[in-house]
Chains A and B, each alone.
Chain A
Amino acid sequence: MPVFAYGQTQHAGHADHMPVAPESSVPAEAAGMNHETMNMSDMDHSSMDMTGMDHGSMSDMDHGSGEMDHGDMQMQGGSAPADARDPDAYSDGYVRNAGQYALPPADALIMSDMHNFGSVYFDRLEYVKARGEEWAAYEGEAWYGSTYNRAVIKAEGDVAGGKLQESETQLLWRHAVSTFWDTELGFRFDHADGAPNREWLAFGFKGLAPYWFEVDATAYVGPSGRTALALEAEYDIRLTQKLYLQPRMEVNFHGKDDERWGIGSGLTDGTAGLRVKYEITRQLVPYVGVEWASKFSKTADYARAAGESRQETRFVTGLSFRF
């Protein structure tokens, strides 16, 4: 395999957009209010409590100027105030499928919210060319489960000469924690030709940041005190309804040297790519692209010692698909 000793498969991620606490990424302002242009100058909405509002004056409100104090108004996220309404308050203790007029549980109505769904998504299934060498790379995931809890298999790897060179496979439990964010918890298993296998515990966040950045950030802990952090971000710039540009970045950190894998501690490596994708259908999306890959500090030293390049430009041709 012509690629780096430790392979490209470590980098499950990147993003400087990753918020520390995902939900706080949507503060009141960010949630979209354009305060400069709000013109309800007579109103004080500091708590969005209508009680104290003078509705009479609303008809007279000034649309021409002034600013409005929106205080803690928030259209997304946040946590429920102490006096938030109880969603079961109207039930008077009644439940479904028991009690007066109810059918027994065996005849219960089952809607799709109680069903499990599943999907397989290959983001990258590509042929890569760099420095006169070539290989195939794959990255994808399959999930199965409910809206809020899913079992996920993520797989990423390189194949050259008809042989799997390196692979990173994760088995995760994905749990929805807020409007746009999920947590992921599970295991990761790394395999590479000529290097010992590595196992990790994985914990991360995955979701959609404001401005539609798809972000994936995962921390790993392995035996012998090994730690790693992978950050990944992707963005679709839609040119037409079918054609889009997809910038994509990944960066990896490791807490400890792992010479057998050619990994040095600290910032390990990163890639930045740009793909042009065309949706034949939503499910079948061929693309071409270019990607710059780089290794840093001690990892770069290992590469140099092994006679490999620290930086390379790759040309990719591939297919995204899902079903």
Chain B
Amino acid sequence: MKHLTELPILNPGLSRRRFVQGLAAGGVLLALSPLARATGLLSAAGTKTGTANILSGTQFDLEIGESAVNFTGNPRIATTINGSLPAPTLRWREGDTITIRVTNRLKETTSIHWHGIILPFEMDGVPGISFRGIQPGETFTYQFKVQQSGTYWYHSHSGMQEATGVYGAIIIDPAQDDPIRADRDYVVQLSDWTDEDPMRVLAKLKMQGDYYNYNQPTAVDFFQDASRIGLKAAIDKRKMWNEMRMSPTDLADLSADVLTYLMNGTTPAGNWTGLFRPGERIRLRFINGAANTFYDVRIPGLELTVVQADGVNVEPVAVDEFRFGPGETYDVLVQPKDDAHTIFAQAMDRTGYARGTLATHAGLEAPVPAIDPVEWLSMGDMMGAMGSGMAGMSHGAGMDHGAMAGMRHGDMSGMDHGSMQGMNHAGMDHGAMAAAGASTEVRHARTEYGASIDMRVDMPRTNLDDPGIGLRNNGRRVLTLADLRTVGGPMDPRGAEREIELHLTGNMERYTWSFDGVEYGKSTPVRFHYGERVRVILHNDTMMTHPMHLHGMWSELETPDGQFLARRHTIPVQPAQRISFLVTADALGRWAWHCHLMLHMDAGMFREVVVA
């Protein structure tokens, strides 16, 4: 992205409301902007925003270039595919071999990664790992056989291009009839836009980790608390946060202060609208294509029946709301009752929202709910299971003791974890291990005791039925990971042959993110043995939720006691949570594995995986 008018330190004047709400017309207004003319912006074509065109068949030509957008009143240059933001929706058919020619019209290297698609590693599109990247002026031909169906997406894996517009939806029709029946089918792709150069945003976080957090505890809050709950309780509530030098409102690194939230490339004011006829059943394919935003999605007044997660069908589950992070997708069925319903997707940090409407006629609107209040992270978010008995914490909010009691820890107590560290896994009864679930012994890496991390969790929470901060006890039925059941069970009946435990780590003050306290540049790859069934434990030693995306292979999420739940390509791991999933390492080559919050990924929460 290029700066056209940036004088950031002297630029407080933009109407706050317009910034958060965005302009109604996206790229179109640009043509009217005298500033755009003055800066020569019109030489770059305007970007098509809103519902993306659908390209279908087996042959595709995509061109990545620059085009002008205006989401906030400030004209900017986006990086786009075929001049469209989001990029065209690609419609494939399971079983087809498809060819996609991607031409780079940028001045820098580019790439396309097919998110969640099973393919040879050379086609995966991560520069430096799967291929060289697509150089300026070059055309790269991707070709692979489509072996799956469902809702997916694609995006650039180069630099910050994913944040500046290079993302689009993929719909793969099943080879047989689709068991999910709907009268209408819409892609609802959520994303976020920043007028700033994303590298500059990262640089600002490097100089101040809470640069974009304007929901910080204040002295005013303190005195209000003191008069409400007493001075001692007000002090206690802050004690641990202050001693640990961590913020209870560190819910997202970026906020509406720097982001504009988009639904199908449309600002809240622009109100993306999907039309329907009364009585119809609508399939909404929600894709979180944001660079940095977790969204909490609901359609007030309508039940959402979740039928697919990450492209894989799940047993239908009816909810009022779901949270999803960058990289994840959920397909839901809805049956509108009124002429207009608001699709409301508030950002997890509660500073803004993306919004659209399902309506019987263009121009109809339904009420837009208020944003929920900002909630402080709980002790459970900071300390895991350990935090559950702490003063000041709502028991309902953290760990589910009932679930914990049912976790079959009794079975584990007979196991000698001490000797497990040194044992020869090959000689172990794998079946028994799978049934027992992931090991609960926390093993921090040697590299988790230095400057790269700001906390370690010794007693993580392992329950998966927590919707997460800001969604607990909100009176709505919120989807959790524990609700997901992939239709047909696991892809591989084998239990785990061995375990890999990795910790998600970071230091908010220094703004660095990593696995095991080791950023990508200092890391060695994680090796999976070709053909093995391996259990991966991700243990979150931070207070943020990380959507973890393993390329090339499925992540089969399980309960703490080893029961299969769902096949995912991106799994959100909550603060102080420890989750596990099984991987069948059936894809030779080198793959990327990372947090899909783009700035976390870029700051080092990224590993290479070698399957050999």
Contact = CB atoms under 8 A, between A and B. Distances in A.
Nearest to A60: B405
A176 interface: yes
Interface string B492-523: 00000000111000010111101111111111
A85 B444 contact: yes
A282 B204 contact: yes
A91 B518 CA distance: 13
Interface stretch (B265-273, B307-315, B357-365, B406-414): B406-414
B517 A283 contact: no
B525 A111 contact: no
Interface string B583-594: 000001110000
Interface in B415-468: 416-418, 421, 440-459
B38 interface: no
B398 to A, nearest CB: 12
B180 interface: no
Nearest to A239: B219
Contacts of B523: 87, 96
Interface stretch (A11-19, A71-79, A154-162, A247-255): A71-79
Nearest to A282: B211
A197 interface: no
B446 A85 contact: yes
A232 B366 CA distance: 56
B516 to A, nearest CB: 4
Contact of A87 (B199, B445, B458): B445
- Chain B's interface: helix, strand, loop or mixed, by majority? mixed
Interface stretch (A101-109, A264-272, A300-308): A101-109
B242 interface: yes
Nearest to B240: A32
B16 interface: no
A292 interface: no
A158 B521 CA distance: 43
B132 A103 contact: yes
Contact of A91 (B214, B517, B524): B524
A30 B243 contact: yes
Contacts of A114: 520-521
Given A37-B391, A54-B413, A111 B612 contact: no
Contact of A119 (B207, B452, B509): B207
- Chain A's interface: helix, strand, loop or mixed, by majority? loop
Given A85-B445, A87-B447, A239 B218 contact: yes
A216 to B, nearest CB: 15
Contacts of A30: 243
A210 B510 contact: no
Interface centre among A58, A88, A181, A238 (most CB of B within 10 A): A88
A301 B473 CA distance: 67
A60 B602 CA distance: 44
Interface residues on B, range: 35 or more
A112 interface: yes
A20 interface: no
A84 B8 contact: no
A55 B446 CA distance: 27
A74 B444 CA distance: 12
Contacts of B606: 111
B337 interface: no
B40 interface: no
A90 B217 CA distance: 41
Interface string A110-126: 11111001110100000
A177 interface: yes
Interface stretch (B28-36, B69-77, B121-129): B121-129
A75 B458 contact: yes
B417 A50 contact: yes
Nearest to A182: B451
Nearest to B454: A179
Interface in B586-612: 588-590, 601-604, 606, 608, 610, 612
Nearest to B421: A83
A92 B526 CA distance: 8
B603 A112 contact: yes
B443 A284 contact: no
A51 B417 contact: yes
A225 interface: no
B389 A39 contact: yes
Interface in B128-147: 128-129, 131-133
Contacts of B207: 117, 119, 121, 322
A103 B129 contact: yes
Interface string B94-131: 00000000000000000000000000010000111101
A260 to B, nearest CB: 38
Nearest to A52: B413
A32 B207 CA distance: 26
Nearest to B588: A101
Nearest to A208: B245
Contacts of B245: 180, 208, 210-212
Given A103-B129, A103-B132, A180-B509, A241 B588 contact: no
A76 B244 contact: yes
B175 interface: no
B202 interface: yes
A88 B524 contact: yes
Interface centre among B244, B391, B401, B589 (most CB of A within 10 A): B244
Contact of B442 (A50, A113, A321): A50
B458 A48 contact: yes
B231 interface: no
Contacts of A282: 204, 208, 211
A195 interface: no
B418 A51 contact: yes
A96 B592 CA distance: 11
A85 B405 contact: no
Contacts of B219: 237-239
Interface of B: 8-12, 121, 126-129, 131-133, 199, 202-204, 206-208, 211, 214-220, 236, 239-245, 382-383, 386, 389-391, 395, 401-402, 404-405, 407, 409-410, 412-413, 416-418, 421, 440-459, 500-502, 507, 509-512, 514-527, 588-590, 601-604, 606, 608, 610, 612
26 contacts: A32-B239, A32-B241, A50-B417, A56-B413, A59-B402, A68-B389, A75-B383, A75-B456, A76-B244, A85-B446, A87-B516, A95-B525, A100-B610, A101-B121, A109-B127, A111-B606, A112-B202, A113-B514, A118-B203, A121-B207, A148-B451, A180-B454, A180-B509, A210-B244, A238-B217, A241-B215
Given A94-B525, A211-B242, A323-B9, 16 more contacts: A32-B382, A51-B417, A75-B244, A80-B447, A87-B446, A94-B524, A95-B524, A107-B128, A113-B519, A113-B521, A121-B207, A147-B452, A147-B512, A211-B245, A238-B219, A241-B216
Give the 9 A-B CB pairs with smallest separation, nearest first: A55-B409, A109-B128, A59-B405, A32-B240, A113-B604, A37-B391, A91-B524, A113-B519, A176-B451
Interface of A: 26, 30-34, 37-40, 45, 48-51, 53-56, 58-59, 61, 63, 68, 73-80, 83-88, 90-92, 94-97, 99-103, 107-114, 117-119, 121, 147-148, 176-181, 208, 210-212, 237-241, 280-284, 321-323
